[in-house]
Each structure stands twice: as structure tokens, then as C-alpha cells.
């Protein structure tokens, strides 16, 4: 017997819009009050809802909160350069973060904030159904690998970056590839070179 899901009746764009509306009206996170007080935006995500590759960062920074767009500042320019190096248009991937509102002064996201915003990311993944999730930074690496049954593989990002892990999801097999956060590469040429090499693996996975 064929089973049906909400996506059989509602488009991916409509489902993403529902998530955006819920985050805009979210009251359970202190970051929401700061967003309203500072007159900035939540950063839901950007890109193709049919993407094979989904990039998951940690939380928005100042430029991202000001525009509502993920990775649009200095780290975004590094991400764009990395995508260009493997001839993968940004319009063909989906880019988002775990936490959708900017933490104060760009600090690391707190565990309780990840608990609040994580379910929105889970739904985005279920909607897009990517073949590959590339995590950007240790927080997103930890969240995604724990979420998809790879907790036994967790370790230091310096040891795991660029490795390809295969896991099962409700929508089929999926690869998880931990990567350094692009922000690290802004002032560290070695890390940028490492990211360039790791992105070559993404190119093969996106074929």
C-alpha cells in the first residue's frame, strides 16, 4: 500500500513558508526578543528546495541578521568561492543554520537555543530530502551526526572534516560530510586550502 505524506498535498515552498511564519512568531527563545528590539531578521535559509546538497551552519552573524540571508558576510564570500571552485552554483544548493536568530555578539549558540531551533532544521531537512548534508563547524556537525544516528562516529572536527558518512533517513540514504566553518578560513590560509580539498569530495557526491 502506498503511503502519503503532507508533501503529497503541499508544495515544498509552502512547507518552508510555514516554517518561516512559525519562526517569525516564535516566542520561546530570548533571541526572538533581541531580534525584535534590534529590528533585524531571522535567517531561515536560502537556495533550492530541490537541492541535492544542503549546507548547515551554526547561527547567523550581524550581516545575516541585518539582511535575513545566510552566509552573506565575509564567511559567505568564502563559501561562494568554495562553491565556485567546484563549479556548483549557490542557487542549486540550500544553505541554512541550526539556530535561526543571531546570538548576542556572535557568541556560540547555547545548548538550549539549539534545542529550540533544531526541530525547524529537522523539518527543513525532511522537506528538501538532500542526498548530502555538509555541516559547517563543530556545532552543526555534532547536531546533525547525533540526529542521524552517527553519534558513535563523533570526534574532533580536525579529525572528521572531509570524511563521508552514510546514514539512513525516513526518505532514504543520505551522506553527511563535516567541514570546517568558512569563517575559520578568513584569516587562515591553511584551513582554506583544506576546505578547497574537502569541497572536491562534495563535487563528486553532487554528480
Q: What is the DSSP string of 87-150?
A: T--GGGSEEEESS-SPPGGGPPPPHHHHHHHHHHHHHHHHHH--SEEEEESHHHHHHHHHHTT-
**pLDDT tier at 104, thresholds 50, 70, 90:** confident
CA distance 17 to 166: 29
Q: What are the structural domain ranges in the chain?
A: 10-206
Q: Which residues pair with 167 in a beta bridge?
A: 174
**pLDDT tier at 106, thresholds 50, 70, 90:** confident
Say if residue 123's pLDDT is above 80. Answer: yes
Say if residue 2's pLDDT is above 70. Answer: no
| C-beta pairs of 113-116 under 8 Å, 24+ apart in sequence | 113/29, 113/31, 113/59, 114/139, 114/143, 116/26, 116/28, 116/29
Percent of the chain with pLDDT over 90: 86
CATH 1.20.58.110 for domain 10-206: no
CA distance 162 to 197: 8
Say if residue 165's pLDDT is above 80. Answer: yes
**What is residue 206's predicted lDDT score, i.e. its pLDDT?**
80
Q: What would the mean pLDDT of 165-180 be, rounded to a whole number?
A: 97
Q: What would the mean pLDDT of 71-94 be, rounded to a whole number?
A: 96
**What is residue 8's predicted lDDT score, i.e. its pLDDT?**
53
**What is residue 33's predicted lDDT score, i.e. its pLDDT?**
85
Q: What would the mean pLDDT of 163-173 be, rounded to a whole number?
A: 96
Percent of the chain with pLDDT over 70: 96
**pLDDT tier at 9, thresholds 50, 70, 90:** low
CA distance 85 to 192: 12
Give the β-pairing of 53-57 and 132-136: parallel
**Average pLDDT value for the chain:** 93
Amino acid at each position: 500500500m502506498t503511503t502519503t505524506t503532507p508533501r503529497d498535498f503541499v508544495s515544498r515552498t509552502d512547507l518552508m513558508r510555514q516554517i518561516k511564519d512559525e519562526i517569525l512568531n516564535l516566542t520561546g527563545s530570548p533571541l526572538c526578543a533581541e531580534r525584535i528590539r534590534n529590528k533585524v531578521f531571522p535567517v531561515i535559509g536560502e537556495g533550492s528546495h530541490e537541492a541535492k546538497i544542503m549546507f548547515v551552519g551554526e547561527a547567523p552573524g550581524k550581516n545575516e541578521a541585518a539582511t535575513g540571508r545566510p552566509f552573506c558576510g565575509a564567511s559567505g564570500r568564502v563559501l561562494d568561492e568554495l562553491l565556485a571552485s567546484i563549479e556548483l552554483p549557490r542557487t542549486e544548493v540550500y544553505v541554512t543554520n541550526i539556530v535561526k536568530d543571531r546570538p548576542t555578539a556572535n557568541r556560540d549558540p547555547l545548548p538550549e537555543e539549539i534545542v529550540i531551533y533544531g526541530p525547524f532544521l529537522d523539518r527543513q531537512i525532511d522537506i528538501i530530502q538532500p542526498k548530502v548534508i555538509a555541516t559547517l563547524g563543530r556545532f552543526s556537525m555534532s547536531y546533525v551526526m547525533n540526529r542521524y544516528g552517527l553519534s558513535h562516529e563523533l570526534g574532533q572536527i580536525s579529525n572528521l572534516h572531509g570524511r563521508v558518512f552514510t546514514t539512513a533517513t525516513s526518505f532514504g540514504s543520505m551522506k553527511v560530510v563535516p567541514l570546517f566553518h568558512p569563517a575559520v578560513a578568513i584569516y587562515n590560509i591553511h584551513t582554506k586550502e583544506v576546505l578547497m580539498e574537502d569541497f572536491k569530495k562534495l563535487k563528486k557526491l553532487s554528480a
